Amino acid sequence: MAISRRKFLLTTAVAGSALAVGYVVLKPEEDTRLVFQKTARGGEVALNAWIKIDASGTVTVAAPRAEMGQGIYTALAMLVAEELDVDWKSVQVQDAPVHQVYANREMLRAALPFEDGYHQGENTSGAQFMGWLAELLSAQGTGGSTSIRDAWEPMRNAGACARHMLVQAAASKWNVPASECLAADGTVSHNGSGKSLSYGDLATLAASLTPPENPPLKNAADYKLIGKAVPRLDITDKTTGRATFGVDVKSDGMLYAAVNVAPVMGGSLKSYDREAIVKMPGVVAVAALPTGIAVVADSWWRAKKAADAAPVDFEDGGNGDLDSEGIYQLLEDSIKSGDPFTYRDDGDADKVFENAGDDVVASYQVPYLAHACMEPMNCTARVDGDNIQIWMPNQAPFLMRYLASRIADTDVENVQVFTTYLGGGFGRRAEGDLAEQAVRIAMAVPGKTVKLLWSREDDMRHDMYRPAARSLFRARLDDKGRPFAWFNRIAGQVPTKSFTQRIFDFATVDMPDNTSSEGSADMPYAIPNLQVQHVPVDLPVPVGFWRSVGHSYNAFFTESFMDELAHKAGQDPYKYRRDLLEGHPDYLAVLDKVASAAEWDLPMNSGRGRGIALHESFGSLVAQVAEVSVMPDDTIQLDRVVCVVDCGRVINPDTVVAQIEGAIVYGLTAALYGEVTLKDGAVEQGNFPDYEMIRLNNMPNIEVILAPSGRPIGGIGEVGTPPIAPALANAIFNATGKRVRELPLSKAGLVG
């Protein structure tokens, strides 16, 4: 298999790091039924790694992806239940154990550079290699809007395998050919005799049979569940209070921990007075952390009060002078004179721009953003000798397992990770800092269960932020007003490098990273001379994966600049984009549908405006039209957002619409208010009064239209976020003539 230098750097940086610490262990072939059978209770038997059935016929589906409100427990169970052909009312979900069989292959495949064409769904040798690497690393994680894309084949196959085994079991009992038996709605019946047995009656015998390798799958025309709005499996527990989030974990004799860590980016613990701290009310122990201290007490409030009052000194790591103004200046300098990596270079843009012309030039800027999950960051841990248990809302149990084993110097097999419901994730809960802290703290009180809980201020000031970025554009239009040459250079930190370095200190290799240029280098518009570059910038601010990652700012940059070109050419922004989408009927269909639904050609009253944006991310196409009104005080009121989505086959339309609505709200919050600033090396924002969110009084009406075209299955969790900022900015220009090139809008006084 041929692997390019680019793929080699990307994959060996991950695989080499993992192998270097002895984490990866290649296991011999095993019966994957045993993986799920180990979790069996109440007479359950596992037919494969995804399905257990008990005597009553209740089907339990293993969910290897985190449920953080996106409805993934329901969608994954639907894939299994469709092929198993079971009554939906008899289906339940259980968090899957950590194992290679549940690796998320799509999550690593999606990291491939654009030259592989993976973002268009191609099955390349590079994609196959990354899938193998994911299994090698037991990369069981939730991110990149990959859950359904990864599960589409294996979980349907698991359901079909189980159905086949149940039919074979019934045929064996009745001594008839399996071809005469039919499985439907949790029952196997015999056509000739009318005999029938429930799945519960057949489960034990079926589990003893050899699973088929390639069972036939249903035709789409025969689907009973897929594509239907079925009730979510998590709603009852969440509405009755029975659901267990991380903050809900309880045990007898539980202790609680709070932290006091260095406020300055890159700071560390210098000294602290242990004797003074342990004398404080309720304090049981004090644990030193690399960045500060943790106080363990008999209640969280006592732990927090003691941590805040603790005599502790910090080193600033030389970053005490870091501030936002200096960071933005560094980004600007990097745009001008940094060493860029070129992600796309079609035609010869350099040659075009060598000759003088009437170029359109614009610069854009976005700030750091926090994840601001509603559930506070938390992790509960218990250390008994070499054995560790972790209860945690997390997006990467395999990573938490590894980090815990490293902190405690024990084998990964000695670590159990129990993933609870997540009160929001957005990429933040893929980070391992809470797991590392919790295990260090639990080691200070061996044999005791300790719940570590961060305050909102801890979270806001010690997040792994969406990078701040600047973007420079230059375009030359032809005699028809179309872009003949396009140059785009982005400057900012690289999330993948920052994330990897937090896991492996020695992971210093600079490698191409899609998250830096996604949404810019892979745009579909027909431009003959096009160059897109990114300048990586090193800063002590930790950055990570924030909902839609690089798409979150590159969509704003690219679609806003496209609007500027349409205005320069004196053309309608919708029709201008349309003319540049030759050869992309799927993009055109989405663009046309959103324009029609929003009544684009209908004139608007004075003081009102519409803006449009089109963007592909995570394999899905999304077009949005935003409508705004100018208020008497010259601020902007959001009136309406129309959104059209082509994500390929839809599993549950209700959850898809809900995810798009939520993603639009998330993106609007960032566009209107989101900004993390630094002064004297520390984050200035501490809670929601400092980090405002969109509220009911300025929420627009949102209309979501699903328009699948037959494309391969795309993601949903993140795809609604990228287009909303440019659609809004373009609407503001349409209403006011003011071009927004910097977010958030509150900085320009456009938001009341």
pLDDT surpasses 70 at 47: yes
Continuous segment of H or E residues that includes residue 288: strand 283-289
Is the Cβ–Cβ distance between 344 and 532 less than 8 Å?
yes
Predicted pLDDT at 180:
97
User: What's the rounded mean pLDDT across residues 132-140?
Assistant: 73
DSSP letters along 470-503, please?
EEEEEEEE-TTS-EEEEEEEEEE--HHHHHHHHH
Predicted pLDDT at 28:
45
Distance (Å, rounded) from C-alpha 616 to C-alpha 585?
13
pLDDT tens column, 616-673: 999 999 999 999 999 999 999 999 999 999 999 999 999 999 999 999 999 999 999 9
Pick the CATH number of 324-368+465-748 from 3.30.365.10, 3.40.50.2300, 3.20.20.140, 3.40.1390.30: 3.30.365.10
Provide the pLDDT confidence category of residue 124 given band limits of 50, 70 and 90: low
Provide the pLDDT confidence category of residue 24 given band limits of 50, 70 and 90: very low
β-strand pairing of 678-679 with 608-617: unpaired
Provide the pLDDT confidence category of residue 119 given band limits of 50, 70 and 90: very low
End-to-end CA distance of the chain: 57
Q: Which residues pair with 360 in a beta bridge?
A: 475
pLDDT tens column, 340-390: 999 999 999 999 999 999 999 999 999 999 999 999 999 999 999 999 999
pLDDT surpasses 60 at 193: yes
pLDDT surpasses 50 at 497: yes
State how far the alpha carbon of 584 is from the alpha carbons of 371, 518, 528, 612, 665, in Å: 34, 18, 16, 18, 29
pLDDT surpasses 80 at 197: yes
Provide the pLDDT confidence category of residue 117 given band limits of 50, 70 and 90: very low
For residue 82, the tally of other CB atoms under 10 A from its CB is 24
Predicted pLDDT at 739:
97
Fold identical between 31-104+140-240 and 246-316+377-453?
yes
Distance (Å, rounded) from C-alpha 508 to C-alpha 365?
27
User: Percent of the chain, pLDDT > 90?
Assistant: 88
Predicted pLDDT at 690:
94
Please say whether the structural domain 246-316+377-453 has been given the CATH code 3.30.365.10: yes
How do the domains of the chain map onto residue ranges? Answer: 31-104+140-240, 246-316+377-453, 324-368+465-748
Just give the CATH number of 31-104+140-240.
3.30.365.10
**Does residue 4 or residue 587 have the better pLDDT?**
587
Cis preceding linkage at 744, omega within 30: yes
pLDDT tens column, 260-292: 999 999 999 999 999 999 999 999 999 999 999
Predicted pLDDT at 107:
86
Tell me, what DSSP letter sits at residue 744? -
Predicted pLDDT at 125:
58
Provide the pLDDT confidence category of residue 302 given band limits of 50, 70 and 90: very high
pLDDT surpasses 80 at 129: no
